[in-house]
Structure 1
Amino acid sequence: MNTGRQAVLMWTGLVVAVLAGVLSFLSWDRADQVAGVVSAVVGVAALGVGVYGALGPPRGPDVRVSATGRVTSRGGGDANTGFAAPASTTPPGSVSVSDTGDAEGDGGSANTGFRQG
């Protein structure tokens, strides 16, 4: 379990314990009112978290590569006529590659399409 999840569990437990302590010192009528308000707030927050989770991870911009030229790389070099994106934790949106040129890597790296990382 990572530290972020541990922190969420710790804070959730702390909030539940404090709320239980506060409710135990109130009269039944007042505790009922407080519990109703707290449950409404928690319900709305849970709905928001559910919608956020359903939307999925964030995406990067869409990438379109077309009509690139021929490229040759020799002796450990790096040649590119397409699109080379840096490594990222956010994946790109849709990637479209069409009519790319020939790539020849003789001991090197050649790209005429799309490469990330």
Structure 2
Amino acid sequence: MSAPVLSPADLAQAQLDAYNAQDLDAHCACFADDVVVADLNGAVTIQGIDAYRAKYEQVFADFPQNKAKLLNRIVVGNTVIDHEHVERTPGGATFQVAAIYTIAGGKIARVDFVK
């Protein structure tokens, strides 16, 4: 029996929850094998789940207290846009990001970041 397919909003929330828990397996399970990550209107920075996993394994190692707080979420069809406030360490540097998730086949197929 296969796992139920999450709605786009639930999938975006699942990956965010796993990100904040630094649960690499659960986080990566939300993404397609051929996931593409890019800067909005810019260069592709990650291609494929193996590269994605390696990137976030490093992020979690470098920033073990990293947290992203959801400020706003917009869902239009299979696109989810999350506005997040990211804190690398408690009381440390923060920044805001918009993550535009494109959902296909029950997984996140593409992420475009605005930083």
Q: Does TM, scored on the shorter chain, surpass 0.5?
A: no
Name the structure where helix makes up a greater proportion of residues. Answer: 1
What TM-score does the superposition give when structure 2 sets the normalisation length? 0.21
Name the structure where strand makes up a greater proportion of residues. Answer: 2
What TM-score does the superposition give when structure 1 sets the normalisation length? 0.20
